[in-house]
Structure 1
Amino acid sequence: MTDLSAHAARIPIDADGRLGPVSHHPGFRDRRYLERRNSLAALASEHAPGDASPPVTYTETEHRTWRTVHAALGPAHRDHACRAVLDAREDAAIPADRIPQHAEVGAHLRSRTGFDFTPAGGFVPNRRFLGSMERSFFHAVQFVRHPAAPLYTPEPDVIHDVFGHGVHLASPEFAALYRLIGRAAGQARTEAALDLLSRVYWFTLEVGVMTEGGAVKAYGAALLSSYAEITQLARNEIRELDIQDMARTAYDVTGYQPVLFSARSMRHLGDVLGPFCEEFDDETGPRLGVTAAPRRAGGRP
């Protein structure tokens, strides 16, 4: 059986039990790891949305990291994920013993919802990342998080994309929300509008939670792919799902989220996101009284 506590002990922790400085994470300090990470990221250079991802020959160390995370997230999802995610995970058919190729994941998603993975080398500009969702493409990376800290990564990796977004995109209900965001991005002309939309996307499809049976349950992809974060939901400040509040709230893409927004159900989530996305344009920010983007609290530009 995998010793999860041994892995968790290698993650830099501060006095409050949270992650220490991002710069201390081994994924940003190990030269050999960074060379491998960058070589896999480079495979996505100059691709167009919809281009097929090149195959990757993963190492045994990388497959071992996958197996460690798979073993951890199974019970974590059962305890902390919402019912819609648990149902979608069954349909996602994630292999336990190896990292699947993008082509394999994409073929499965196309058969379920029409979505497909398209390669990314890391963080993707808002217009391209969000806009591609309207055409049922999701930008996903192919490199794997550092083996010394498999239960948390400060940047998206193949584990995040498969266990998070891959699970979502196996579900017609979740896939419809991604397309809503994509269509809204197509209606934006300014970077300010896209930044506002990215915050709503972040606080819902990346780190969203909902209340089920009186308990807070995760549905956001970043939470679903992070054992170290999904098991600490009780530490967060939980606010009711509110577009204006989300638009005014700063976030950090590289660390734990101090504030999460909770929907009452999947229907409630759709009822909030639907009208917002359908009416979204460059004047949405001023209509909400949001005239400037909040500072990202320590996150990357």
Structure 2
Amino acid sequence: MFTEAQLYSPVTKGADGDVTVHLSDEHPGVHDPVYRARRNAIAAMALGYRPGDRVPRIDYTGEEQEVWRIVSAELARKRERYACAEVIEAAGRLALPSDHIPQLDEVTAKLAPLTGFRYAPAAGLVPLREFFGSFADRMFHSTQYIRHHSAPLYTPEPDAVHEILGHANQLACPRFAALYETVGAAVARLETERALKFLADVFWFSLEFGVLRERGEVRCYGAGLLSSYGEIEEFRQAELRSLDVHAMGTVAYDITHYQPILYCAESVNQIEDVIGGFFETMSDDTAARLAA
């Protein structure tokens, strides 16, 4: 099942005000004191942000910019090969820079005219209710740090590559952006944590790791696949199942490995009907009944 704590390295603030990002022992940057200090500083800027403030601008290093250039170029090639037409067209309209890491206000300036979505900074894991609930206001909470330079094509946690090259390219599509807004509206109706987790799991197997059939082959639309150099090459090897909200909300899965089971739609229309229809009518009772 979906486990919040696995998604990000925990961020804490000490009594002295120092902010610390706790990397796992397997993280590529765990033994790099410069990288760790950098992560702490970026997280501290996000923690200091309040709605209405100017979004913190990060002075990215040359090393970080090079990581972006490498990953951006590789993912652009893979997106053309493996993504669905809606995402490819949306990415073309959004036209994110490939030569530098865009500041979050730069992402907003490009995205808002297309679908109304704006980006806000996050230090790390955002509580589920706040993260998903903000979609109702067309707001997306995004980290600003970049993966370690020793492994530019790999990250054990979502970073700016995932948040921007994955989600922003997806959010630039009006049809997918509308689904996000429907998720946010559903959160406002939910009172139980059980229902919230069910929603998160359905979101995981659709807007994070969703695939569909198009032009005689399986293509992806999920942000987790769009931003993963490795998994976007492998998702066609997964066991493909038909869209099934009950199964998507209850099946066990491990976010630290490539997903062995994916739920495949026949079209974007079906995603809107099945997944969007579920989010539009979801309630605590609905989730309890399906989970049982």
Normalising by the smaller structure, the TM-score range is 0.7 to 0.9
Whole-angstrom CA distance in 2 between matches of 1:225 and 1:41: 21
Whether 2:143 is the aligned partner of 1:153: answer: no
Q: Which residue number corresponds to residue 99 of structure 1?
A: 101
Deviations 1:130-177 (A, max 9, x none): 000000100001000111111121211111111111111212111101
* 1:97 partner letter: D
* 1:246 partner letter: M
Aligned residues, how many? Answer: 269
Q: Pick from 244, 258, 273: which aligns with 1:242?
A: 244
Q: Is the 8 A contact 1:106 1:116 kept in 2?
A: yes
Q: Which residue number corresponds to residue 173 of structure 1?
A: 175
How much does 1:190 deviate?
Answer: 1.1
How much does 1:279 deviate?
Answer: 1.5
Bigger Cα displacement from structure 2, 40-49 vs 221-230 = 40-49
User: Structure 2 length normalisation: TM-score?
Assistant: 0.87
Q: Is the 8 A contact 1:49 1:132 kept in 2?
A: no
Bigger Cα displacement from structure 2, 37-46 vs 130-139 = 37-46
1:277 and 1:68, CA in 2 relative to 1: closer, same or farther beyond 3 A? same
Whole-angstrom CA distance in 2 between matches of 1:241 and 1:186: 24
Whole-angstrom CA distance in 2 between matches of 1:240 and 1:34: 42
User: Structure 1 length normalisation: TM-score?
Assistant: 0.85
Q: Pick from 213, 216, 240: which aligns with 2:215?
A: 213
- Mark the runs of 5 or more structure 2 residues left unpaired by the alignment: 1-23
Deviations 1:201-247 (A, max 9, x none): 11111111111123211111111111111011133222111100101
Whole-angstrom CA distance in 1 between matches of 2:254 and 2:66: 29
Partner of 2:284, secondary structure, is coil
Whether 2:35 is the aligned partner of 1:33: answer: yes
Partner of 1:152, secondary structure, is coil
Q: Which residue number corresponds to residue 75 of structure 2?
A: 73
1:193 and 1:152, CA in 2 relative to 1: closer, same or farther beyond 3 A? same
- Mark the runs of 5 or more structure 1 residues left unpaired by the alignment: 1-21, 292-301
Q: Which residue number corresponds to residue 230 of structure 1?
A: 232
1:266 and 1:23, CA in 2 relative to 1: closer, same or farther beyond 3 A? farther
Question: What is the root-mean-square deviation in Å for CA atoms of aligned residues?
Answer: 1.6
Q: Which residue number corresponds to residue 199 of structure 1?
A: 201
* 1:189 partner letter: E
1:34 and 1:46, CA in 2 relative to 1: closer, same or farther beyond 3 A? same
* 1:57 partner letter: D
> Structure 1 vs Structure 2: percent identity of aligned residues?
46
Q: Which residue number corresponds to residue 273 of structure 2?
A: 271
Q: Pick from 260, 281, 286: which aligns with 2:283?
A: 281
How much does 1:107 deviate?
Answer: 1.3
Q: Is the 8 A contact 1:67 1:97 kept in 2?
A: yes
Q: Pick from 162, 165, 182: which aligns with 1:163?
A: 165
